[in-house]
Amino acid sequence: MTDSPAPRIPPDPKEQPILDKLLAIRHNLELLKQDRSTYVKSQDVIELYNQVIEQVVILNGIRTTKRLEQNRVDTVLDDCFQLISLSFLTIGRNHEPPAVYAFVSTTKRLLDHLKEATYYSPKDLESIGARLQDCRRYIARGKDSHSPHLLTLLESRIEACEQRLAELELSHSHLTSDLVPKYDKLVSILRSLSACNTRTKFPNAEVDDYLEQLKAVAEELKPYGIVPYESTGSKEEKLAEMAEKLKLSMEHPEPAPEAKTLIETLLQRCFVWCALTKKKQGYIAPAFKETYDKLLEIRNKLEKLSLTHAWSLRETDLYTYQRQLDRVDESRVDGNFVDTLGRPAELYEQRTLLYLLRKSYATIYHLIISSEPVSEALLPIYNQLTTLKKCLIEVKKNGGVSSPRELYPYSMKLNSIDNMRMDGKFMIGSDIPEGQGSVTQLLEECFELAYDLRNDAEDSTSEEKSGGSESGAEGQT
């Protein structure tokens, strides 16, 4: 059993049969997830999805006068929807409403953490905004084929994400175009320093390099009247500093107060964090070492998955990591990690643990959005074609081939994949897995690249022969 959020007993006895049914469905979904002897089949997922929707309809009928109630039924229902959603990604039905659920849940967590962190890159928000628009399109497309109960739930969750996203965008609205790159650089340094705290061996030289980068950014910000700390010199020195600021501000208009405060505070935080990082050298207080080790293990496993996901990731595997992270996240008190006696963590432990938590959620987010709309059953073929396409593109970039014979290994592999089709479809037993269009399109692109390379090689060979013939004729003359 995974680390689901703490359960609560349903107060209404009428909901007990629903809870029992949902627990059974969740169990079956977990068995489906864990079974590596075969790929996840669409019909199995759809059957369990329909069973969940049946229970939602019954539950809504019972809660006509208490829509906002939350108890253990809701917790298990969330587990079921999360597993169903990840299963839809696994079978390649990424662009249908059920697949949206896992993305929206992770996105909401990520947005909440960005707001809590205060400092984040505008690029973080651009990706999320675009994906939320995609989710709305998937919901609109699935209105005739999916339960309105699910669609209503998804729309309300997307709306909550969009509201939070708008708040975060507003916080950055005062940054001018010339200040955004400098702000991004500071955010990157802040995150990189936190990453240094999680290394097996503390990278002193790397932290020193970040300090130099900070100083360079601080110099670039001086013309805008932005400094990381107040001067502590004499009265004459302070007057000279003010005069210098006045002179520079004539060259660079001072930014809006909100933007100035935002960047100035971030710059100061980076210097303080750099000094604290150097002092602590990766040491975590014993009271928080267990939490640190757990989060570090999750982060490392997810990063490994992000490197090999095309070949080894089954999207339903993310459920276990999501629930473990949720459990840690929900154990915080007023935003703080606390020890067994309820005492909050010191600044260093607090920020380091939050970095690991947020980094893990961000990695799950990227793994979800990078999931291909291809069934797990077809992924081996899809991945082979993706690799072949990259190889052919590289060959073309580097001048092509000197002889059509050099393309023989590629052609042989493409033909062997093409011969796997039956009546134009890639079959697994008697099943026709999802993602036929994506795999077929990729195969055609590979054939087209190989065809172009072959033509170029033949043309080049013909020109060489023609040139050789002309030279021979001139010699005879």
Which positions of the chain have pLDDT values less than 50?
A: 1-3, 230-233, 235-253, 473, 477
The pLDDT value recorded for residue 123 is: 86
Per-residue CA distances from 85 to 82, 238, 283, 393, 435 (Å): 5, 60, 39, 35, 17
Let me know: does 355 contact 296? Beta carbons within 8 Å: no
* Cα–Cα distance, 329 to 318 (Å, whole number): 16
Residues in the chain: 477
Type of residue at 140? A
The pLDDT value recorded for residue 309 is: 75
| Structure-token pair, residue 288 | 């928080």
**List of residues 6+ apart from 249 with CB closer than 8 A:** 223, 224, 225
The pLDDT value recorded for residue 469 is: 53
In angstroms, the first-to-last Cα distance of the chain is 89
Type of residue at 408? Y
Let me know: does 181 contact 189? Beta carbons within 8 Å: no
If we measure between CA atoms, which residue out of 149, 25, 33 comes closest to residue 76?
Answer: 25
The pLDDT value recorded for residue 231 is: 43
Let me know: does 107 contact 157? Beta carbons within 8 Å: no
* Cα–Cα distance, 381 to 436 (Å, whole number): 11
Domain parsing of the chain, residue ranges: 180-280, 288-365, 379-471
The pLDDT value recorded for residue 66 is: 65
